[in-house]
Homo-oligomer: A and B are copies of this chain.
Amino acid sequence: MDNDSSARIVGALRDWIAAAPAGARLPSTRALVATHAASPITVQKALRVLTAQGLIESRPGVGTFVRAIRVARPLEFGWQTAALGSPPNRVPVSAAAMRDAPQGVMALHSGYPNRELLPERLVRSALTRAARSDVAVSRPPVAGIPELQAWFAAELADAVPAGATPPTASDVLVLPGSQSGLSSIFRALVGAGHALVMESPTYWGAITAAEQAGVRVIPVPSGAAGPDPDDVARAFEETGARAFYAQPNYANPTGAQWSRDTTERILSVVRASGAFLIEDDWAHDFGITSTSAPVAGMDDAGHVVYIRSLTKSVSPAIQIAAIIARGPARQRILADRVASSMYVSGILQAAALDIVTQPAWRAHLRGVRSQLRSRRDLLVDSLSEHAPRAHLTAIPAGGLNLWVRLPDDTDLPALVRSCAEENLFVGPGSEWFPAEPPGPFLRLNYSGPNPGAFPEAARILGRVLDRSL
């Protein structure tokens, strides 16, 4: 037996193993004997050493293999801290509205309607049809399937008064959900370092997209009646902002729907400022006692860039939204979309078009309207009975949320934690403010699972609030 030979074979085989995938079969003992001009005993010894080092394993009668199950060791990524520097912004990776709720939790925190509010049968049959058609194996045009573009354009055209020019299919860009559209609009129309006016509070996803785009957020206060147009005017004057992001119908979280007067005055401000109104019509399908009246219908000079998603009303699996924009702005946004995703899956586009053009879709939306009304009213009544210290800012005419003001001295994080301990998830209002919140708020979503538990949820909230007195 030759110790040096054995060490030499160990070294050579270590190099071989380092280059081999896990599970690779080592040369046979006979081959190793020949290659290394060593005795079988020397080769066997080398293999034993490698086995003891955890690098190989023998399967008797089969052969010797590079070990597939690796020894886990703690990995050292400290160097990345230097490479990455400080994170660019304050936004946490997961917002309350995205948190998964365990079975049995009363979930008033989520932003997504529960399954019973979705057109499940339509979704399944549309996807099945799409799976059989050409869209399953082909690439759609960059801006979307023309028929789906036309559907989005026609829907908005319904809101266009006589004398104004309605949008056409070629003004529409189909998107894989509205979140990526917000990022694109902010990058393309505002740009890093430039000012973007936003309502405060407003949709947390828009705040996140704005921070990702690196724009400078200029908050204007907004409440149950929407923003004050004079505040918006002042924000434009003082900052030279290029755009105002807003939700004129059933704003998330406040539920505000702009009056006709507010709409006209804000449109005047936007026109006078040579700026864009980025209208996020997120709850277009969720009117309760009114219907969504897109401001974009009242503009044909390219001032309103409209975005509207089907994801919440159709299915989270059908991530389809659209931007309607006219003039060079559309071109600018399209260039950003190509850089972001090239195109949108034809399967999802075809399924979305199939669903919204079925007669059953209209009937489904009527059913949703009535269910949302019952759910909203039950939660409103439950709060007023069991949690009188939670002050409802308004009863929204549409949307999915109540916006609740809590007593000034409420410790919001502690309250959210206490509720969670009693199996009630609520959305801390702070996540909807791009600036410091003027007080403690909660967002309570009434489109989640099990509305029958709303009274119990209100009782828990009431108890937790009383305890914090």
Which A residues contact B (CB, under 8 angstroms)? 17-23, 54-56, 66-67, 70, 72-73, 75-77, 79-84, 87-88, 91, 93-95, 98, 100, 112, 115, 118, 120, 123-125, 127-128, 130-132, 135-139, 141-142, 157-166, 176-177, 179-180, 183, 187, 189, 191-192, 205, 208-209, 211-212, 214, 242, 260, 274-276, 297, 300-302, 315-319, 326-329, 331-332, 334-336, 338-348
Contacts and interface: CB of A to CB of B under 8 A. Distances in A.
Contacts of A180: 180, 340-341
Contact of A317 (B136, B189, B260): B136
Top 4 nearest A-B pairs (CB, nearest first) are A77-B327, A127-B131, A139-B316, A212-B339
Given A75-B301, A76-B301, A83 B274 contact: yes
Contacts of A77: 301-302, 326-329
A326 B75 contact: yes
Q: How many copies of this chain sit in the oligomeric assembly?
A: 2
Contacts of A125: 131
Contact of A98 (B76, B176, B297, B338): B338
Contacts of A343: 98, 316
Nearest to A319: B345
Contacts of A297: 21
B94 A338 contact: yes
A34 B199 CA distance: 44
A22 B162 CA distance: 6
A179 B339 contact: yes
Contacts of A17: 161-163
A83 to B, nearest CB: 5
18 contacts: A18-B161, A19-B161, A21-B297, A56-B162, A66-B162, A75-B326, A77-B301, A77-B302, A77-B329, A84-B328, A127-B128, A128-B128, A131-B131, A138-B316, A177-B341, A192-B192, A209-B339, A319-B345
A297 B56 CA distance: 18
Nearest to A212: B339
